[in-house]
Amino acid sequence: PIYLDYNATTPLDQRVLDSMMPWLTGNFGNAASRTHLYGWEAAEAVATARQQVARILGATEKEIVFTSGATESNNLALKGAFEALGASRKHIITVATEHKAVLDTCQHLEAFGAEVTYLLPDSDGLICPEQVQDALRPDTLLVSVMYANNEIGVIQPIIEIGSLCRKAGVLFHTDATQAVGKVPIDVQHAAIDLLSLSAHKLYGPKGVGALYVRKGISLTAQLDGGRHERGLRSGTLNVPGIVGLGVACALAQKELAKESTRLTELRNTLENNLINSLLNTQINGHRTQRLPQTTNISFGGLDGEELLMSLHRLAVSNGSACTSASVEPSFVLKALGLPDDLAHASIRFSLGRFTTSEDIDLAIGHILEVVSRIRNGA
């Protein structure tokens, strides 16, 4: 089937794999071994990757902490800040449409005394900076707002939120897992204190990611041990994975502008053909403030499961990979105000580096045929 589920995960780019291979074979050293060449070489490879990750964010190397992925990064950011500072400040502000790795972490912290405000987005999926401003309290510790949403692709007003958090002296965390490599990011300009990312969403390997921790911010480690990563994340470094993440960032940064234009065109072609040819279809999420390669479309009157099963020539999903096993309609679409049946009849199409215009033409033909067949009761 044609793969249009890049927001779930991306294939490993061959160039990334090539960069990793030596570190999976002959160069197997432990980056923490200081007494021989094996260790020195591994440490140097990690240092290069740290620069590459820092560069795509406008950060410095010392501000990058390698983790096992965005789930761990989100946990470290929120739990680490709460454990370090939560004695005096126990209020957290986040958004109802965040990824579960943020929402469930907030829920966990509530059991330990945190008070969490869950902001509701408008029907386009956006929150406005005033909502954050109004929710601030004297004891607010941290604001966590995702950069771009995994299901509908909308991009939140990060720069405005960062600026108001900085003025208020409140930590600002953003889960940028879906944004890194797709839109330009500058942690300085956006006044971001903590940022989560994951390699497997940008053509790197699974099981590796990073947390940007702005200089001067103290977090409590969630994994104790050998004090790797300046004590913030103990555990022998995943050298091949980290090298892959670094190269993935460098490639994405280099190709971002061109890819963004190309994918916007393909995404718009897909959208326009479906919306113009099929009655009772709608695009979910803001039309312009969103990622270039994501679209989420409701096919009114159809049964979502039947539609998904009938689109056998496409690999697409009806929500995030972690919740698509459930029969519940997407909580993100429900937060936008969609009724259950429409939320259920929605499909996310996410394009990527290896999507071609032939893929999109085939997908359009297939979708039009399947939807008419189901609607005609055939």
Residues 6+ away with beta carbon under 8 Å from 225? 234, 235
Tell me whether residue 89 or residue 99 sits nearer to ligand PLP (CB atom).
99
Q: Is residue 99 part of the contact set for ligand PLP (CB under 6 A)?
A: yes
| Burial classification of residue 184, based on how many CB atoms lie within 10 Å of its CB (0-12 exposed, 13-18 middle, 19 or more buried) | middle
Tell me whether residue 178 or residue 238 sits nearer to ligand PLP (CB atom).
178
Closest CA to 200 of 5, 12, 3: 12
Beta strand 2-3 pairing with 314-315 = parallel
Q: Please report, in angstroms and rounded to a whole number, the separation of the first and last CA atoms in the chain.
A: 23
Q: Point out which span in 64-72, 221-229, 291-299, 328-336 binds ligand PLP (CB under 6 A).
A: 64-72
Half-sphere exposure of 71 (CA within 13 A, CB side): 8
Q: Point out which span in 53-61, 170-178, 270-278, 307-315 binds ligand PLP (CB under 6 A).
A: 170-178
Angle between helices 70-85 and 100-110 (to 10 degrees): 30
Q: Point out which span in 68-76, 240-248, 356-364, 368-376 binds ligand PLP (CB under 6 A).
A: 68-76
Q: Is residue 71 part of the contact set for ligand PLP (CB under 6 A)?
A: yes
Q: Is residue 350 part of the contact set for ligand PLP (CB under 6 A)?
A: no
CB of 336 to ligand PLP, least distance (A): 16
| Burial classification of residue 326, based on how many CB atoms lie within 10 Å of its CB (0-12 exposed, 13-18 middle, 19 or more buried) | exposed
Q: Catalytic pick from 106, 128, 249, 322?
A: 322
CB of 102 to ligand PLP, least distance (A): 7
Tell me whether residue 196 or residue 298 sits nearer to ligand PLP (CB atom).
196
Binding characters for ligand PLP, 298-327, by CB under 6 A (x = yes): ------------------------------
Tell me whether residue 143 or residue 274 sits nearer to ligand PLP (CB atom).
143
d(CA 241, CA 209): 9
- Tokens 């990058």 sit on residue: 64
Q: Is residue 70 part of the contact set for ligand PLP (CB under 6 A)?
A: yes
CB of 300 to ligand PLP, least distance (A): 26
* Distances 298 to 12, 34, 121, 341 between C-alpha atoms, Å: 30, 56, 18, 10
Reading phi first (left if > 0) and then psi (alpha if -120 to 50, else beta), residue 261 is in: alpha
Tokens coding 283: 């695009």
Among positions 192-211, residues that touch ligand PLP (CB under 6 A) are 198, 209
Q: Is residue 103 part of the contact set for ligand PLP (CB under 6 A)?
A: no
Binding characters for ligand PLP, 121-160, by CB under 6 A (x = yes): -------------------------x---x----------
Beta strand 171-175 pairing with 194-198 = parallel
Nearest residue relative to ligand PLP (C-beta): 69
Binding characters for ligand PLP, 209-228, by CB under 6 A (x = yes): x-------------------
* Distances 210 to 60, 98, 196 between C-alpha atoms, Å: 13, 18, 6
CB of 74 to ligand PLP, least distance (A): 6
Tell me whether residue 117 or residue 198 sits nearer to ligand PLP (CB atom).
198
How many residues sit close enough to ligand PLP to count as binding (CB under 6 A)? 12
Q: Point out which span in 63-71, 85-93, 162-170, 324-332 binds ligand PLP (CB under 6 A).
A: 63-71
Tell me whether residue 102 or residue 256 sits nearer to ligand PLP (CB atom).
102
Cβ atoms of 84 and 232 within 8 Å: the answer is no
Among positions 175-194, residues that touch ligand PLP (CB under 6 A) are 175, 177-178
Active site annotation includes 322: yes
Tell me whether residue 90 or residue 173 sits nearer to ligand PLP (CB atom).
173
Tell me, what amino acid is at 356?
A: T
- Tokens 């972490």 sit on residue: 105
Find the Cα–Cα–Cα–Cα dihedral 76, 81, 84, 89, rounded to 10°. Answer: -150
Tell me, what amino acid is at 101?
A: A
Residues with catalytic function: 322
**Contacts to ligand PLP by CB under 6 A:** 69-71, 99, 101, 146, 150, 175, 177-178, 198, 209
